[in-house]
Structure formats: structure tokens, C-alpha cells
Structure 1
């Protein structure tokens, strides 16, 4: 996954490797979770989150709820109902990683775990939306306050991400299998790679996104890694 991210950063047309990065991200997430709770539950959790993410996007492009008014361009393919399949895959992969981070921080407090997981997953979108807008993968009806992204988008992300955390708990068993260090590391790697990309690779660079996204995701990654909630 990291190799694909590096390759996309040095290519003249990075969008060609976007789907490759997302698929490798999702495969890594499922593999790490499977080591903790078995392949069946891991795949079930991934598919459930991907379905929830797709449903939210399908509703979103038609109604503007819960993210705001936006639309996908034809760049990412294949699409079903105006939503690229790879977007649902991204929800699944990072949803599992954010849930692991939240479980490390609040292994026994369900409501707090869901809230932390929602915030951790939304922190990723502080990178994702500006990056995808650069690549022309989707458009907003109106320019927003954060690099062209409306604040309603992040409110929507918090809502959907909270639902994602609940779904994973139901399928996996509320963290009973322990926390995967691999999933926490996956979240940390995404934070580091996105920060580096916006700070030094993308043209033009964007130190604001690098700082805001890096601090937000980085704080979750560092705190989760320091907690010894996972099993050996």
C-alpha cells in the first residue's frame, strides 16, 4: 500500500493509482482484523461497513443529506447509482482502522468508543476531501470554509462514522478479540503518508491541510499506540 502511495505521488497522473491504494488499504485492514477475530467476522465487518458507507453516499448524492450537496465525476469507475464502488471500499478499510484506534482508547466504554471512532474516521476526511477535490473525483455545489469543503460534510461524516462504529461492534463483538496493532499501525501510516504528501509532495503544497489533518489523525494514532489495550 505504501509503495502504491509513493508511486502515485511521483506519477504525473496520480488518480490512476487511487483505486489501487484503496484496495490495498482494505485488504490490509481485513487481514489484520482476521488475525484477531477470524476471517469470517473480519469480512463480515468490512462488508457491513462498506454497505453502510455506500448507502450514505447513495442517499447523499441524491438528497444532500447528510454531507451536503455534492456529486461524483465520471473519473472513478465502476460506479453504481452514481457512487464509485471504491468509495465504499474506502469506508470499509478505514472504518476498521478507526475502530481499532477507538477500541485501544476506550476498550470497555461502548458509547465513548463509538464517539472516538467517529472522530478518528472523520479526521481522515480532513485529508481525503481536499485531496479528492484536487484530483477532480467529486465536486461540491458550493465552496466550503475548509479548502472548498463545506462544514456540513464533516457533520455528516461524524454521523455516518458513528453508525460505522456501532456496526463493527455488532459484527465483531465489541472488541472482545482485542485490538490489532496492525490496524492501529495502518491508521498511523495513513496519517503519516497524507501529512507528508500535502506538506512536500503535492503541487501546489498545502501546509494548512498537512497541519490540520496531521495533528488530528496523528493525535489519535499516538494516543492509541501508547495504550496497551491490545493483546499479544
Structure 2
């Protein structure tokens, strides 16, 4: 019996779906990477300041939907490099993410004493957001991918690549946590010296980031992943969204050092030579034809 069609069709279908998803991302890059984080920053600050109507303030459905949209360039960009091995490693990372967060909430270790002050969607065991991996794992992936691009040939050395990626993960939290505390996502008890965040939180992130980066490094073939990152122009757009969203919130609340770290990520993104005036021109909604042909 000829099984050639049955063996090639899944691959062809996956390729066709991948191309369609990439087209959607390219045609909507500006909306995803700029409009969504800008609207998110405005609505979150308005919620924190009591300016949003009650049904809309901190609305978990809006938060989850906006997060998923902003994550879409990263997910679509990585799909061709995600096989069973990568899924297994990311599955372990997901389990670890839940476990370390539950331990942190129950024991105050390793991040210090903190509590969620609003519900970011459904809560697992009533303690941590069910969507926690959606919030955390992409941050690690963004840090890792940016590290690969910025280090260039140095990324081949694991003793350079892994520590640099871990440092990038911790730096991401230097931006995230002060802004999240400012808008009331969570709170540390007592408040810490860094815009309400204690030093112990970053010791915890150093631990979590190390485990996460090692699993991500194990999940992917570095050469193949680097080739994909170099050829997929939108794969770091989620990091752009992150910088715009949380950097803007830090600016609005006067968290100048945190906003400065967000600026450093901007410099790292510019160094990749994919974010310039021409990219913005191609990404605007009015230039959709150009995006399809890029």
C-alpha cells in the first residue's frame, strides 16, 4: 500500500498553517507589538488609579487576551523548532514554574513574602494564576533569544551564553516587578528597597532563571534555533511589547531605574538590526501589501 501521501500530508499541513500564521503576524505587527502594550499600559494604570469602570478594572479576561496576543509573535516564530524533545523540556519548565511559585506563596522562599492582590484569571489551588507559565516562560525565551542574537559568535560558548541569558532574565524582572507592584498586581510584605521589591526577590529570580535557562538551552538545538531567530524578523516582537508595556508603566510611576533597564533592552533590540524606521514603515497597517511581500 502506498503510504507516501499519508506521511507527507501532516508535514504539508503544518507548513501551510505555519505560513498562514506568519502572514497574520506580519500583517498585524504594529498592532500587536505597539498598540496592544500601549492600550494595556493605559488601562492597567487607569485600573490602579480607580479610573476604570468596575467591570473593566483589572478584567482578567482582557489581561489574558492581551497577553496571548502579545505573545503570539514569539509562539509563531518558535513553532518550526518545537518538536517532542522541546515540548518535553518546556513541559518540565511549566511544572517547575507552578511548583516554585506555590512554594514561594506558602513559605516566602525564595522570593520573599508576597501575595497576589488581584486575580490574574483562574487560580491554581486558589494560590497562583493558572496562566502563570504564559506570563513567565515567554520572558525566559525572550531573554534567551535576545542573548543569542546579541552575543553572535560568542553564543556558541555555553559558559558565556547561559550566564548571559540568566542575567537577562533577572534584568527583565528589574523592569517587571516594580511596575507590577505599582499597579497592584502583587505586593511584598514588607515592601522592599527597590520600588517596593526586596532584594530576596531577585535572589529567587536568579534561582528560577538559572533552572529555566538551562531547560530552554537543553530544549533546542542552538544552531538551528539561531538560524530561525535570524530569519524570523518578528520573533522578538513580544519583547518589544514587554518593554513598551512595563517600561511605560515604570515611567508613569517614576520608577526611573526600572525604566532605564527597559531602555537597555531597547538598545539590545536595536543591536539586532531588525528594529528601525524601515521596519516600522513596513509594519504599519497601511503598508499591509509590503508586509506580505517582505
Residue 220 of structure 1: CA displacement?
3.8
Equivalent pairs, count: 221
Which residues in structure 2 correspond to 1:112-191 (within 5 Å)?
A: 112-179=160-227, 180-181=229-230, 182-191=234-243
Residue 115 of structure 1: CA displacement?
1.1
Report the structure number with the largest CA radius of gyration: 2
Check conservation: 2:40, 2:245, Cα contact below 8 A: no
What is the aligned partner in structure 1 of residue 93 from structure 2? 49
1:94 to 110, 115, 139: 139
Q: Does 1:15 align with 2:62?
A: no
SS of residue matched to 1:107: helix
- 1:15-35 CA distance string (max 9 Å, x none): 333322322233332211113
Residue 113 of structure 1: CA displacement?
1.4
C-alpha RMSD of matched pairs (Å)? 2.6
Does 188-197 or 26-35 show the bigger shift? 188-197
Flag structure 1 segments of 5+ consecutive residues without an equivalent.
228-232
SS of residue matched to 1:143: coil
What is the aligned partner in structure 2 of residue 230 from structure 1? none
What is the aligned partner in structure 2 of residue 4 from structure 1? 36
Normalised by the length of structure 1, the TM-score is 0.81
- The alpha-carbon distance between structure 1 residues 48 and 22, as it changes in their structure 2 partners (threshold 3 A), is farther
- The alpha-carbon distance between structure 1 residues 8 and 190, as it changes in their structure 2 partners (threshold 3 A), is closer
Check conservation: 2:178, 2:255, Cα contact below 8 A: no
SS of residue matched to 1:178: helix
The one of the two structures with greater contact order (alpha-carbon pairs below 8 A, sep at least 6) is 2
Residue 41 of structure 1: CA displacement?
5.7
- The alpha-carbon distance between structure 1 residues 27 and 226, as it changes in their structure 2 partners (threshold 3 A), is closer
2:71 and 2:91 mapped to 1: Cα distance? Answer: 10
Does 127-136 or 151-160 show the bigger shift? 127-136
1:33 and 1:194 mapped to 2: Cα distance? Answer: 23
- 1:108-161 CA distance string (max 9 Å, x none): 111321111111122121221122212322121111110010011112112211
Check conservation: 2:117, 2:187, Cα contact below 8 A: yes
Check conservation: 2:247, 2:262, Cα contact below 8 A: yes
Normalised by the length of structure 2, the TM-score is 0.66
1:66 to 92, 110, 115: 110
Residue 172 of structure 1: CA displacement?
1.5
Flag structure 2 segments of 5+ consecutive residues without an equivalent.
1-31, 48-56, 275-294
- The alpha-carbon distance between structure 1 residues 175 and 150, as it changes in their structure 2 partners (threshold 3 A), is farther
1:32 and 1:40 mapped to 2: Cα distance? Answer: 17
